[in-house]
Amino acid sequence: MGARALYVVVEGGAWQRYYSHWGAGRVVHDLIPGPVAATRSFRSHRETQEWLDDIWCEGAALVDHDHRTLLWFTDADTWADHLAALAVLAATWPGWDIRFAYDGVADLTHHLGLGRDLTRPPGQPETSGPSWYADPEETQPRTVLSLRLPDGSVRAWNGACAPVEHLTGGSGLVDLLAASPPTPAPTEMPYGGLHVDPQTRTVSLWTVETVTGLHSWPLPGWEDWALDFQGHDHTGQAELLPADFPLPQPPLTAALLRLSSRLQPPDGTALLHRATAEPGPEGSTAVVNPAALVPHDPTDPTPAELAALRTAFDALLAGAETG
């Protein structure tokens, strides 16, 4: 087990990969001090000649100094945490093209000219038909789904899966949604949204999570439908939702404070040793992955880098409070 992270540094026309067994949860924290600090931190980890696939890679970053491009992904605790990370990166990576890698590792390999199939099997996943249902007690959705009805009105529901997961059953989702009972309005901002418009045969999707495989649209069962992928921009769906089903949009203040309070990684050495000392099931011999014994230990930002980061946080917090 672990939280495996992969880092790629491009400089002078060459690129190298680096690996951290426990770094996925720290990708944003290692990036926000800026490109020089992030590069130094990534190069402090073990160099590797291997790619991680979509299953095993839980966080990654590509820092391309030649084209001043940053690609990155990791799981966000909340919608606000993702937006807070983007805001800080915009302040500490001035002049860089900062992109969330929605297609996971495939976005990194594509940027390097290696295609998107290097870390995933080619072809489309099979579908067995839609299987979505409405939960009348769900108020903290992962996805908000909305559907334009034949009379032009829009209905909305809370969903427990990621947006792309709701699409894997094909366009039969339309009939399922139309026949579904209502759900209460969400009490927390979802991670993403999915709007289906049968009149224009368009699927609109926004998310703050990875949506691996979406570049191979149309997904099975959605042939002759267009995809309108909006990145993390939720405003298009928000404008379509019924008045009694608004998206709650919490301020970024709490998320910015959480991010600024976790600049230093926790000391995981003692925890790792306790975990590896646990016996295996009776009659078995536990085998420890040597990589699991190496804690995520990035290099610290310099005093000047840390001061610049604190200045960025102060400005963003002031703006969040007045906004």
Domain boundaries, the chain: 5-121+267-322, 143-240
φ, ψ for residue 256, nearest 5 deg: -65, -40
As a three-state string, the secondary structure of 80-137 is HHHHHHHHHHHHHCCCCEEEECCCCHHHHHHHCCCCCCCCCCCCCCCCCCCCCCCCCC
**pLDDT beyond 70 at 34:** yes
Measured CA to CA in angstroms, residue 276 lies from 20, 58, 282, 286, 298 at distances of 17, 21, 16, 9, 22
Which H or E element spans position 315? helix 303-322
- The region, left, alpha or beta by phi > 0 then psi within -120 to 50, assigned to residue 144 is beta
Output Rg (C-alpha) for the chain, integer angstroms: 21
List the single range of 176-180, 200-204, 291-295 with lowest mean pLDDT.
291-295
| Residue 101 near residue 116, CB atoms below 8 Å | no
CB of 142 closer than 8 Å to CB of 191:
yes
pLDDT in tens, 119-160: 886 655 565 677 777 888 888 999 999 999 999 999 999 999
pTM of the model: 0.87
| pLDDT at 298 (0 to 100) | 67
Residue with token string 């609109």: 204
CA 247 to chain centre: 19
- Give per-residue pLDDT as tens, 209-263: 999 989 889 999 999 999 999 999 999 999 999 999 999 988 999 999 999 988 7
Please tell me the predicted confidence (pLDDT) of residue 180.
93
pLDDT in tens, 48-105: 999 999 889 999 999 999 999 999 999 999 999 999 999 999 999 999 999 999 999 9
Question: Across all residues in the chain, what is the average pLDDT?
Answer: 88
Contact 242, 117 (CB under 8 A): no
Bond prior to 94 in cis (omega within 30° of 0): no
At residue 19, the pLDDT reads 96
Check residue 255 and give its pLDDT: 95
The structure tokens 């002031």 sit at: 318
